Protein backbone atom coordinates (compact mmCIF):
# COMPACT_ATOMS: atom_id res chain seq x y z
CA UNK A 1 0.00 0.00 0.00
CA UNK A 2 1.45 3.36 -1.08
CA UNK A 3 0.45 6.25 1.18
CA UNK A 4 3.05 8.95 1.57
CA UNK A 5 3.09 12.66 2.34
CA UNK A 6 6.83 13.19 1.95
CA UNK A 7 8.85 14.82 -0.83
CA UNK A 8 11.87 13.16 -2.43
CA UNK A 9 15.10 14.66 -1.06
CA UNK A 10 16.31 15.59 -4.55
CA UNK A 11 13.15 17.53 -5.35
CA UNK A 12 13.09 19.10 -1.90
CA UNK A 13 16.49 20.59 -2.75
CA UNK A 14 14.88 22.18 -5.81
CA UNK A 15 12.07 23.57 -3.66
CA UNK A 16 14.55 24.97 -1.16
CA UNK A 17 16.52 26.59 -3.96
CA UNK A 18 13.35 28.18 -5.39
CA UNK A 19 12.30 29.47 -1.97
CA UNK A 20 15.68 31.06 -1.30
CA UNK A 21 15.98 32.45 -4.84
CA UNK A 22 12.54 34.07 -4.71
CA UNK A 23 13.19 35.58 -1.29
CA UNK A 24 16.72 36.88 -1.89
CA UNK A 25 16.66 37.75 -5.61
CA UNK A 26 13.18 38.13 -7.08
CA UNK A 27 11.40 39.88 -4.21
CA UNK A 28 14.10 42.58 -3.79
CA UNK A 29 14.06 43.28 -7.53
CA UNK A 30 10.25 43.52 -7.39
CA UNK A 31 10.48 46.07 -4.61
CA UNK A 32 12.85 48.33 -6.55
CA UNK A 33 11.66 47.70 -10.13
CA UNK A 34 8.03 46.49 -10.16
CA UNK A 35 6.84 44.70 -13.33
CA UNK A 36 10.45 44.28 -14.38
CA UNK A 37 9.87 41.22 -16.61
CA UNK A 38 7.94 43.33 -19.12
CA UNK A 39 10.10 46.45 -18.75
CA UNK A 40 11.64 47.34 -22.15
CA UNK A 41 14.59 49.25 -20.67
CA UNK A 42 17.85 47.44 -21.61
CA UNK A 43 19.34 47.79 -18.13
CA UNK A 44 16.24 46.31 -16.46
CA UNK A 45 16.09 43.56 -19.09
CA UNK A 46 19.69 42.67 -18.26
CA UNK A 47 18.80 42.30 -14.56
CA UNK A 48 15.88 40.06 -15.46
CA UNK A 49 17.92 37.97 -17.88
CA UNK A 50 20.58 37.32 -15.26
CA UNK A 51 18.00 35.88 -12.88
CA UNK A 52 16.27 33.89 -15.60
CA UNK A 53 19.56 32.40 -16.75
CA UNK A 54 20.06 31.10 -13.21
CA UNK A 55 16.56 29.62 -13.27
CA UNK A 56 17.21 27.91 -16.61
CA UNK A 57 20.49 26.51 -15.30
CA UNK A 58 18.46 24.80 -12.57
CA UNK A 59 16.16 23.22 -15.16
CA UNK A 60 13.21 25.17 -13.81
CA UNK A 61 12.15 27.17 -16.85
CA UNK A 62 8.61 26.74 -18.28
CA UNK A 63 7.71 24.42 -15.41
CA UNK A 64 4.18 23.75 -16.63
CA UNK A 65 5.10 21.95 -19.87
CA UNK A 66 5.22 18.17 -20.00
CA UNK A 67 8.46 16.59 -21.12
CA UNK A 68 7.04 15.58 -24.52
CA UNK A 69 6.02 19.22 -25.05
CA UNK A 70 9.51 20.53 -24.33
CA UNK A 71 9.29 21.23 -20.61
CA UNK A 72 10.73 19.55 -17.51
CA UNK A 73 7.70 17.27 -17.15
CA UNK A 74 7.33 17.57 -13.39
CA UNK A 75 3.67 16.55 -13.31
CA UNK A 76 0.89 18.32 -11.42
CA UNK A 77 1.94 17.32 -7.90
CA UNK A 78 5.45 18.70 -8.18
CA UNK A 79 4.11 21.72 -10.04
CA UNK A 80 1.75 22.29 -7.14
CA UNK A 81 4.59 22.29 -4.64
CA UNK A 82 6.58 24.71 -6.79
CA UNK A 83 3.62 27.04 -7.27
CA UNK A 84 3.04 27.04 -3.54
CA UNK A 85 6.33 28.93 -3.31
CA UNK A 86 6.06 31.07 -6.45
CA UNK A 87 2.61 32.38 -5.51
CA UNK A 88 4.00 34.18 -2.47
CA UNK A 89 6.27 36.41 -4.56
CA UNK A 90 4.52 38.78 -6.98
CA UNK A 91 6.32 38.32 -10.29
CA UNK A 92 8.01 34.99 -9.54
CA UNK A 93 5.79 33.05 -11.99
CA UNK A 94 6.86 35.41 -14.77
CA UNK A 95 10.51 35.01 -13.86
CA UNK A 96 10.11 31.24 -14.10
CA UNK A 97 8.28 31.50 -17.44
CA UNK A 98 5.05 30.10 -16.05
CA UNK A 99 2.66 33.01 -15.54
CA UNK A 100 -0.97 33.02 -16.62
CA UNK A 101 -2.46 33.59 -19.11
CA UNK A 102 0.61 32.67 -21.17
CA UNK A 103 1.05 29.26 -19.54
CA UNK A 104 -2.25 27.84 -20.72
CA UNK A 105 -1.88 29.37 -24.16
CA UNK A 106 1.62 27.96 -24.56
CA UNK A 107 0.39 24.56 -23.49
CA UNK A 108 -2.27 24.69 -26.21
CA UNK A 109 0.31 25.62 -28.81
CA UNK A 110 2.67 22.89 -27.64
CA UNK A 111 -0.07 20.25 -27.67
CA UNK A 112 -2.13 21.25 -30.71
CA UNK A 113 -0.05 23.67 -32.78
CA UNK A 114 1.53 22.84 -36.10
CA UNK A 115 5.29 23.13 -36.39
CA UNK A 116 4.85 26.43 -38.19
CA UNK A 117 2.53 27.74 -35.45
CA UNK A 118 5.00 26.70 -32.76
CA UNK A 119 7.84 28.48 -34.53
CA UNK A 120 5.72 31.59 -35.11
CA UNK A 121 4.19 31.91 -31.63
CA UNK A 122 5.36 29.32 -29.09
CA UNK A 123 9.10 29.93 -29.33
CA UNK A 124 8.77 33.73 -28.94
CA UNK A 125 6.37 33.22 -26.02
CA UNK A 126 8.78 30.85 -24.28
CA UNK A 127 11.50 33.46 -24.75
CA UNK A 128 9.13 36.16 -23.41
CA UNK A 129 9.46 38.09 -26.64
CA UNK A 130 5.71 37.82 -27.14
CA UNK A 131 2.77 37.96 -24.72
CA UNK A 132 -0.72 36.56 -25.04
CA UNK A 133 -4.25 36.70 -23.59
CA UNK A 134 -7.13 34.25 -23.49
CA UNK A 135 -10.39 35.58 -24.91
CA UNK A 136 -13.07 33.18 -23.76
CA UNK A 137 -15.94 34.55 -21.65
CA UNK A 138 -18.72 36.69 -23.13
CA UNK A 139 -20.92 39.53 -21.81
CA UNK A 140 -24.14 37.50 -22.07
CA UNK A 141 -22.87 33.94 -21.84
CA UNK A 142 -20.34 34.31 -19.05
CA UNK A 143 -18.11 31.23 -19.00
CA UNK A 144 -20.74 28.83 -20.39
CA UNK A 145 -19.54 27.83 -23.89
CA UNK A 146 -23.05 26.61 -24.75
CA UNK A 147 -24.16 30.25 -24.65
CA UNK A 148 -21.29 31.72 -26.69
CA UNK A 149 -22.09 33.51 -29.93
CA UNK A 150 -18.65 34.61 -31.17
CA UNK A 151 -18.25 32.79 -34.48
CA UNK A 152 -15.68 32.42 -37.24
CA UNK A 153 -16.82 32.15 -40.85
CA UNK A 154 -14.56 30.69 -43.53
CA UNK A 155 -14.02 33.02 -46.49
CA UNK A 156 -11.52 31.56 -48.94
CA UNK A 157 -8.08 31.53 -47.32
CA UNK A 158 -9.28 33.52 -44.32
CA UNK A 159 -11.48 33.27 -41.26
CA UNK A 160 -13.75 36.19 -40.38
CA UNK A 161 -14.52 36.52 -36.66
CA UNK A 162 -17.49 38.42 -35.25
CA UNK A 163 -18.57 38.62 -31.62
CA UNK A 164 -17.80 40.06 -28.21
CA UNK A 165 -15.57 38.82 -25.42
CA UNK A 166 -15.56 39.97 -21.82
CA UNK A 167 -12.83 39.86 -19.18
CA UNK A 168 -9.95 39.06 -21.50
CA UNK A 169 -7.26 39.55 -18.86
CA UNK A 170 -4.23 41.52 -20.12
CA UNK A 171 -5.76 41.71 -23.59
CA UNK A 172 -4.76 45.34 -23.95
CA UNK A 173 -1.05 44.53 -23.61
CA UNK A 174 -1.03 41.17 -25.40
CA UNK A 175 0.58 40.57 -28.76
CA UNK A 176 -1.76 37.72 -29.66
CA UNK A 177 -5.24 36.74 -28.48
CA UNK A 178 -6.47 33.16 -28.20
CA UNK A 179 -10.12 33.58 -29.16
CA UNK A 180 -12.62 30.84 -28.36
CA UNK A 181 -15.33 30.75 -31.00
CA UNK A 182 -18.34 28.49 -31.34
CA UNK A 183 -16.51 26.57 -34.05
CA UNK A 184 -12.85 26.60 -33.02
CA UNK A 185 -9.95 28.22 -31.20
CA UNK A 186 -8.18 30.95 -33.16
CA UNK A 187 -4.97 32.93 -32.68
CA UNK A 188 -5.60 36.59 -33.45
CA UNK A 189 -2.82 39.21 -33.46
CA UNK A 190 -4.07 42.07 -31.29
CA UNK A 191 -3.39 44.73 -33.90
CA UNK A 192 -5.55 43.01 -36.51
CA UNK A 193 -8.14 45.45 -37.93
CA UNK A 194 -11.50 44.95 -36.25
CA UNK A 195 -10.08 44.04 -32.81
CA UNK A 196 -11.76 46.76 -30.79
CA UNK A 197 -10.61 46.89 -27.15
CA UNK A 198 -13.08 48.87 -25.07
CA UNK A 199 -11.87 51.41 -22.48
CA UNK A 200 -13.40 49.50 -19.53
CA UNK A 201 -12.51 47.39 -17.66
CA UNK A 202 -8.92 48.53 -17.84
CA UNK A 203 -7.13 45.28 -17.00
CA UNK A 204 -9.71 42.58 -17.82
CA UNK A 205 -10.73 43.79 -21.21
CA UNK A 206 -14.01 43.89 -23.07
CA UNK A 207 -13.16 43.21 -26.71
CA UNK A 208 -15.41 43.47 -29.75
CA UNK A 209 -14.34 41.40 -32.76
CA UNK A 210 -15.79 43.25 -35.71
CA UNK A 211 -15.20 41.51 -39.06
CA UNK A 212 -11.74 40.43 -37.91
CA UNK A 213 -9.95 38.69 -40.77
CA UNK A 214 -7.13 36.24 -40.06
CA UNK A 215 -5.35 33.70 -42.28
CA UNK A 216 -6.78 30.18 -42.41
CA UNK A 217 -3.70 28.78 -40.65
CA UNK A 218 -4.55 30.75 -37.50
CA UNK A 219 -7.00 28.04 -36.46
CA UNK A 220 -5.45 26.16 -33.52
CA UNK A 221 -6.24 22.48 -33.38
CA UNK A 222 -9.23 20.95 -35.16
CA UNK A 223 -12.22 22.90 -36.34
CA UNK A 224 -15.02 22.68 -33.75
CA UNK A 225 -12.42 21.60 -31.17
CA UNK A 226 -12.57 24.69 -28.95
CA UNK A 227 -14.25 22.98 -25.97
CA UNK A 228 -11.65 20.21 -25.89
CA UNK A 229 -8.81 22.74 -26.04
CA UNK A 230 -10.44 24.88 -23.33
CA UNK A 231 -10.70 21.94 -20.93
CA UNK A 232 -7.07 21.03 -21.60
CA UNK A 233 -6.09 24.60 -20.81
CA UNK A 234 -8.17 25.13 -17.68
CA UNK A 235 -7.86 21.78 -15.86
CA UNK A 236 -4.26 21.80 -14.70
CA UNK A 237 -4.21 25.58 -14.58
CA UNK A 238 -6.73 25.56 -11.75
CA UNK A 239 -4.37 23.40 -9.68
CA UNK A 240 -1.51 25.88 -10.22
CA UNK A 241 -3.85 28.72 -9.30
CA UNK A 242 -5.01 26.89 -6.19
CA UNK A 243 -1.48 26.32 -4.91
CA UNK A 244 -0.62 29.96 -5.48
CA UNK A 245 -3.76 30.83 -3.56
CA UNK A 246 -2.56 28.64 -0.70
CA UNK A 247 0.72 30.55 -0.70
CA UNK A 248 -1.28 33.77 -0.31
CA UNK A 249 -3.26 32.23 2.53
CA UNK A 250 -0.05 31.14 4.24
CA UNK A 251 1.38 34.64 3.86
CA UNK A 252 -1.77 36.10 5.44
CA UNK A 253 -1.55 33.48 8.18
CA UNK A 254 2.10 34.33 8.88
CA UNK A 255 1.16 37.98 9.15
CA UNK A 256 -1.70 37.33 11.57
CA UNK A 257 0.43 35.11 13.82
CA UNK A 258 3.26 37.62 13.91
CA UNK A 259 0.80 40.39 14.75
CA UNK A 260 -0.88 38.30 17.44
CA UNK A 261 2.44 38.09 19.29
CA UNK A 262 3.42 41.72 18.73
CA UNK A 263 0.43 43.78 19.88
CA UNK A 264 -1.22 44.21 23.28
CA UNK A 265 -4.82 44.85 24.18
CA UNK A 266 -6.49 44.97 27.62
CA UNK A 267 -3.32 44.09 29.44
CA UNK A 268 -2.08 41.13 27.38
CA UNK A 269 -0.85 40.29 23.92
CA UNK A 270 -3.76 39.87 21.53
CA UNK A 271 -2.71 36.27 20.83
CA UNK A 272 -3.95 35.42 24.33
CA UNK A 273 -7.49 36.61 23.56
CA UNK A 274 -9.76 33.72 22.68
CA UNK A 275 -11.37 35.40 19.67
CA UNK A 276 -7.93 35.92 18.13
CA UNK A 277 -7.01 32.34 18.95
CA UNK A 278 -10.19 31.17 17.25
CA UNK A 279 -9.28 33.02 14.04
CA UNK A 280 -5.77 31.56 14.09
CA UNK A 281 -6.97 28.01 14.77
CA UNK A 282 -9.69 28.08 12.10
CA UNK A 283 -7.36 29.63 9.53
CA UNK A 284 -4.71 27.02 10.24
CA UNK A 285 -7.20 24.17 9.75
CA UNK A 286 -8.67 25.68 6.57
CA UNK A 287 -5.27 26.12 4.94
CA UNK A 288 -4.14 22.60 5.88
CA UNK A 289 -7.33 20.99 4.56
CA UNK A 290 -7.23 22.92 1.29
CA UNK A 291 -3.55 22.16 0.76
CA UNK A 292 -4.02 18.43 1.21
CA UNK A 293 -7.09 18.47 -1.04
CA UNK A 294 -5.24 20.30 -3.82
CA UNK A 295 -2.18 18.07 -3.62
CA UNK A 296 -4.33 14.94 -3.64
CA UNK A 297 -6.14 16.27 -6.72
CA UNK A 298 -2.81 16.98 -8.42
CA UNK A 299 -1.71 13.42 -7.57
CA UNK A 300 -4.90 12.06 -9.12
CA UNK A 301 -4.27 14.02 -12.33
CA UNK A 302 -0.74 12.62 -12.53
CA UNK A 303 -2.11 9.10 -12.13
CA UNK A 304 -5.13 9.47 -14.40
CA UNK A 305 -6.13 12.61 -16.32
CA UNK A 306 -7.75 16.01 -15.87
CA UNK A 307 -10.96 14.58 -17.34
CA UNK A 308 -11.17 11.80 -14.76
CA UNK A 309 -10.34 14.27 -11.97
CA UNK A 310 -12.76 16.98 -13.08
CA UNK A 311 -14.99 16.67 -10.00
CA UNK A 312 -12.12 17.32 -7.59
CA UNK A 313 -10.73 20.09 -9.81
CA UNK A 314 -14.11 21.86 -9.68
CA UNK A 315 -14.32 21.39 -5.90
CA UNK A 316 -10.81 22.81 -5.49
CA UNK A 317 -11.83 25.83 -7.55
CA UNK A 318 -14.65 26.99 -5.30
CA UNK A 319 -12.95 25.93 -2.07
CA UNK A 320 -9.82 27.99 -2.69
CA UNK A 321 -11.83 31.19 -3.19
CA UNK A 322 -13.70 30.60 0.07
CA UNK A 323 -10.50 29.84 1.98
CA UNK A 324 -8.72 32.95 0.71
CA UNK A 325 -11.72 35.10 1.59
CA UNK A 326 -11.97 33.78 5.14
CA UNK A 327 -8.26 33.61 5.96
CA UNK A 328 -7.49 37.07 4.57
CA UNK A 329 -10.53 38.44 6.44
CA UNK A 330 -9.24 36.95 9.70
CA UNK A 331 -5.76 38.32 9.11
CA UNK A 332 -7.10 41.74 8.19
CA UNK A 333 -9.05 41.94 11.44
CA UNK A 334 -6.08 40.89 13.56
CA UNK A 335 -3.92 43.58 11.93
CA UNK A 336 -6.69 46.10 12.52
CA UNK A 337 -6.60 49.45 10.74
CA UNK A 338 -3.22 48.66 9.15
CA UNK A 339 -4.83 45.72 7.36
CA UNK A 340 -7.32 48.01 5.62
CA UNK A 341 -4.56 50.03 3.92
CA UNK A 342 -2.32 49.29 0.97
CA UNK A 343 0.70 49.11 3.28
CA UNK A 344 0.49 45.31 3.55
CA UNK A 345 -0.65 42.69 0.99
CA UNK A 346 -3.82 41.89 2.96
CA UNK A 347 -6.19 44.38 1.35
CA UNK A 348 -5.29 43.10 -2.12
CA UNK A 349 -5.76 39.49 -0.99
CA UNK A 350 -9.17 40.21 0.48
CA UNK A 351 -10.36 42.20 -2.52
CA UNK A 352 -9.12 39.45 -4.86
CA UNK A 353 -11.20 36.74 -3.19
CA UNK A 354 -14.55 37.68 -4.84
CA UNK A 355 -12.85 37.83 -8.24
CA UNK A 356 -11.37 34.39 -7.66
CA UNK A 357 -14.87 33.07 -7.07
CA UNK A 358 -15.85 34.27 -10.55
CA UNK A 359 -12.73 33.87 -12.72
CA UNK A 360 -12.44 30.60 -14.69
CA UNK A 361 -16.13 29.96 -14.08
CA UNK A 362 -18.25 31.15 -11.17
CA UNK A 363 -18.22 29.06 -8.02
CA UNK A 364 -21.92 28.28 -8.36
CA UNK A 365 -21.30 26.52 -11.68
CA UNK A 366 -18.47 24.47 -10.21
CA UNK A 367 -20.62 23.52 -7.21
CA UNK A 368 -23.37 22.35 -9.54
CA UNK A 369 -20.81 20.34 -11.52
CA UNK A 370 -19.51 18.68 -8.38
CA UNK A 371 -23.02 17.84 -7.18
CA UNK A 372 -24.06 16.35 -10.54
CA UNK A 373 -20.91 14.25 -10.81
CA UNK A 374 -21.14 13.04 -7.22
CA UNK A 375 -24.80 12.05 -7.63
CA UNK A 376 -23.91 9.86 -10.62
CA UNK A 377 -22.28 7.48 -8.16
CA UNK A 378 -25.53 6.94 -6.25
CA UNK A 379 -28.86 5.24 -6.93
CA UNK A 380 -32.29 5.93 -5.42
CA UNK A 381 -33.52 3.55 -2.75
CA UNK A 382 -36.57 1.39 -3.32
CA UNK A 383 -39.74 1.89 -1.37
CA UNK A 384 -40.31 4.34 1.44
CA UNK A 385 -37.21 3.80 3.54
CA UNK A 386 -33.57 4.83 2.92
CA UNK A 387 -30.76 2.28 2.99
CA UNK A 388 -29.83 3.29 6.54
CA UNK A 389 -33.37 2.83 7.92
CA UNK A 390 -32.46 0.99 11.10
CA UNK A 391 -35.56 -1.18 11.70
CA UNK A 392 -35.17 -2.74 8.25
CA UNK A 393 -31.42 -3.26 8.69
CA UNK A 394 -32.06 -5.00 12.01
CA UNK A 395 -34.74 -7.18 10.45
CA UNK A 396 -32.37 -8.38 7.74
CA UNK A 397 -29.58 -8.91 10.26
CA UNK A 398 -31.94 -10.98 12.42
CA UNK A 399 -32.77 -13.15 9.38
CA UNK A 400 -29.06 -13.80 8.88
CA UNK A 401 -28.52 -14.90 12.48
CA UNK A 402 -31.86 -16.68 13.01
CA UNK A 403 -30.57 -20.22 12.32
CA UNK A 404 -27.83 -19.69 14.91
CA UNK A 405 -30.30 -18.23 17.41
CA UNK A 406 -32.73 -21.12 16.91
CA UNK A 407 -29.93 -23.55 17.76
CA UNK A 408 -28.80 -21.69 20.91
CA UNK A 409 -31.48 -20.58 23.43
CA UNK A 410 -28.99 -18.45 25.37
CA UNK A 411 -28.02 -16.43 22.27
CA UNK A 412 -31.69 -16.14 21.33
CA UNK A 413 -32.54 -14.72 24.75
CA UNK A 414 -29.71 -12.16 24.53
CA UNK A 415 -30.71 -11.18 20.98
CA UNK A 416 -34.34 -10.71 22.03
CA UNK A 417 -33.21 -8.61 24.97
CA UNK A 418 -31.18 -6.32 22.76
CA UNK A 419 -34.04 -6.13 20.27
CA UNK A 420 -36.42 -4.95 22.98
CA UNK A 421 -33.85 -2.42 24.20
CA UNK A 422 -33.30 -0.95 20.69
CA UNK A 423 -37.05 -0.80 20.09
CA UNK A 424 -37.50 1.26 23.25
CA UNK A 425 -34.70 3.65 22.19
CA UNK A 426 -36.34 4.33 18.85
CA UNK A 427 -39.69 5.29 20.35
DSSP 66-88: -GGGTS---HHHHHHHHHHHHTT
Question: pLDDT tens digit string along 166-183?
Answer: 999 999 999 999 999 999
The region of weakest confidence among 86-90, 202-206, 303-307, 359-363 is: 359-363
Fold of the 132-220 domain: Butyryl-CoA Dehydrogenase, subunit A; domain 2 (2.40.110)
pLDDT value at residue 230: 87
pLDDT value at residue 71: 79
Contact of 273 with 265, CB cutoff 8 Å: yes
Residue 97 vs residue 68, higher pLDDT: 97
9-113 has which CATH code? 1.10.540.10
According to DSSP, the β-strands at 158-169 and 151-155 are antiparallel
Of all residues in the chain, the percent with pLDDT exceeding 90 is 87
Which alpha helices (DSSP H) does 23-114 contain, by range?
27-32, 42-57, 75-86, 92-95, 102-112
pLDDT value at residue 275: 97
Q: What phi, psi does 386 have (nearest 5°)?
A: -70, 165
For residues 191-210, average pLDDT: 97
| DSSP one-letter code for 156 | T
**Neighbour tally for 400: CB within 10 Å:** 8
For residues 263-289, average pLDDT: 97
pLDDT value at residue 15: 97
Burial 117-140 (b: 16+ CB within 10 A, else e): bbebbbeebbebebbbbbbbbbee
The model's pTM:
0.90
Question: pLDDT tens digit string along 32-45?
Answer: 999 999 999 999 99
Euclidean distance between CA atoms 209 and 136, whole angstroms: 12
For residues 360-375, average pLDDT: 93
SS3 state of residue 211 = strand
Decide if pLDDT at 426 tops 90: no
The region of weakest confidence among 183-197, 201-215, 218-232 is: 218-232
For residues 356-373, average pLDDT: 91
Euclidean distance between CA atoms 139 and 141, whole angstroms: 6
Within 8 A by CB and 6+ apart from 311, the residues are 369, 370, 373, 374
For residues 376-383, average pLDDT: 96
Give whole-number Cα distances, 124 to 81, 218, 275, 320, in Å: 27, 16, 53, 33
Decide if pLDDT at 372 tops 90: yes
Fold of the 227-375 domain: Butyryl-CoA Dehydrogenase, subunit A; domain 3 (1.20.140)
Decide if pLDDT at 235 tops 80: no
pLDDT value at residue 236: 63
pLDDT-derived band at 27 (thresholds 50, 70, 90) equals very high
Decide if pLDDT at 422 tops 70: yes
Amino acid sequence: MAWDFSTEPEFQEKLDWVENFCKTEIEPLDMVFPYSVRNPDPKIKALVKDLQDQIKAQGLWALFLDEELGGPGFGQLKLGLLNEILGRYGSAPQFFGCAAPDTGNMELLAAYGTEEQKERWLTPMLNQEMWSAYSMTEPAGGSDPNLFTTHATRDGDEWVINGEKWFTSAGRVADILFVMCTNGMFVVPRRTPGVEIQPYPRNHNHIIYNEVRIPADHLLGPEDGAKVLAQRRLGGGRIHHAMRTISNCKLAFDMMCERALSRESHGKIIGEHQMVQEKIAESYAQIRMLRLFVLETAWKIDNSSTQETRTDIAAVKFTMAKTLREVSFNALHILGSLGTTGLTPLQDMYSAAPTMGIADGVDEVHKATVARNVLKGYTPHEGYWPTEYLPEKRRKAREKFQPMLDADPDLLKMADGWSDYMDRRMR
